């Protein structure tokens, strides 16, 4: 028996319990080890694959660490200018109402430079899905302050901590868009534990499947770590996230279909 437990013996089709989605390319992820972006990519691609939507989906990549999302997602994609992904997705979806269209954006992209496009795409009720990775910092450009940076949090451009008096308050854009008539489903998730990964995947599934109903924009925030920008080990960053980010950005559904 024991000498049968070889690699060849174990790796048989009938023993398969989990497989990497074919909608992720073979390219090595450019993300820092420990970063949540990779998990978020995987969940999104798993959902598209499981729903059989590869041939029907057009994704929009942002400017930010995930600018190269199209290197990793094996679907047709467009790379948008910084903050403009919701406008690009609007252009696609209006011309192809039957396609599945999503944007994948960071907090600087979605809640600073692109606030206008975010709010108006939500308010018009564009039938798209927005995946919003909120790590409280500008990862790509080297850890500067983001609109979502917590009070007192140190970044490259708030080296003594975010002073709300001069730098303003972190923007809860997800709560904000939930108020708008055009959003249909708004939720906040995380991908830092297996349990959270499962919940986040469910949320993405809903957000993608609701597109067919033509009822409005679905918005999935993923509170995530930026271990490099926060200057922590991946493990420490997840603990810090639980202790500091979650109290301010509580997980859970914010707007659910009636």
Partner 1 sequence: MKDIRLMKGNEAIAEGVIRAGCDGYFGYPITPQSEVLEYLMMNKPEERTGMIVLQAESEIASIHMVYGGAGCGKRVMTSSSSPGISLMQEGISFLAGTELPCLLLNVVRGGPGLGTIQPSQSDYFQAVKGGGHGDYKMIVLAPASVQEMYDFAKLGFELAFKHRIQVMVLSDGAIGQMMEKVELDEQVPRLTDEEIAIKYPWATLGKPTTRERNIITSLDLDPVKQEKINIHLQEKFRHIEQTEVRFESFMCEDAEYLFVAYGSSARVCQKAIQLGRAKGIKVGLLRPITLFPYPTQEIARLSKQVKGILSVEMSAGQMVEDVRLAANGAVPVEHYGRLGGIIPAPDEVLNVLEEKFIAKNNHGRSAN
Ligand X SMILES: Cc1ncc(C[n+]2csc(CCOP(=O)(O)OP(=O)(O)O)c2C)c(N)n1
By CB under 6 A, name the binding residues for ligand X: 63-66, 82, 106-109, 133, 135, 137-141, 146, 226
* Residue 75 in the binding site for partner 1 (CB under 8 A): yes
Assess contact for 116 and 42: CB atoms under 8 A: no
Among 21, 118, 135, 187, binds ligand SF4 (CB under 6 A): 135
Nearer to ligand SF4, 45 or 191 (CB): 191
* Residue 227 in the binding site for ligand SF4 (CB under 6 A): yes
206: three-class secondary structure by DSSP: helix
DSSP string, 117-164: HHHHHHHHT-S-EEEEEE-SEETTTTSEE-TTPPTT--BTTBTT---H
Per this entry, what is the length of the chain?
A: 258
Assess contact for 189 and 221: CB atoms under 8 A: yes
* Residue 31 in the binding site for ligand SF4 (CB under 6 A): yes
* Residue 120 in the binding site for partner 1 (CB under 8 A): yes
* Residue 226 in the binding site for ligand SF4 (CB under 6 A): yes
**Smallest separation (angstroms) from partner 1 to the CB of 31:** 15
Nearer to ligand SF4, 25 or 141 (CB): 141
- How far, in Å, are 152, 179, 186, 211 from residue 68 at the CA level? 31, 31, 26, 25
Number of residues that bind partner 1 (CB under 8 A): 32
Tokens of 88: 């690009």
Which chain residues interact with partner 1 by CB under 8 A? 54-58, 60-61, 67-68, 70, 74-81, 84, 87-92, 94-96, 99, 116-117, 120
């Amino acid at each position: 028996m024991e000498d049968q437990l070889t690699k060849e013996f174990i790796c048989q089709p009938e023993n398969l319990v989990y497989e990497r989605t074919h909608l992720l390319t073979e390219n090595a992820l450019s993300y820092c080890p420990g970063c949540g972006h990779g998990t978020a990519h995987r969940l999104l691609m798993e959902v598209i694959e499981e729903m059989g939507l590869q041939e029907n989906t057009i994704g929009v990549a942002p400017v930010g660490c995930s600018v190269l999302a199209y290197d990793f997602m094996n679907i047709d994609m467009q790379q948008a200018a910084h903050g403009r992904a919701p406008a690009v997705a609007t252009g696609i979806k209006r011309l192809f109402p039957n396609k599945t269209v999503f944007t994948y954006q960071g907090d600087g992209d979605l809640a600073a430079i692109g606030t206008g496009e975010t709010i108006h795409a939500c308010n018009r009720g564009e039938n798209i899905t927005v995946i919003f990775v909120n790590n409280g910092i500008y990862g790509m450009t080297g850890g500067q302050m983001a609109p979502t940076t917590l009070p007192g949090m140190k970044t490259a451009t708030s080296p003594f901590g975010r002073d709300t008096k001069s730098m303003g308050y972190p923007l809860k854009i997800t709560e904000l868009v939930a108020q708008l008539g055009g959003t249909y489903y708004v939720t906040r998730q995380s991908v830092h534990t297996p349990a959270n990964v499962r919940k986040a995947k469910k949320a993405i599934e809903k957000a993608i499947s609701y597109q067919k109903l033509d009822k409005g924009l679905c918005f999935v925030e993923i509170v995530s770590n930026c271990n490099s920008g926060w200057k922590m080990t991946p493990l420490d960053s997840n603990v810090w996230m639980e202790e500091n980010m979650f109290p301010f950005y509580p997980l859970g559904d914010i707007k659910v279909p009636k």
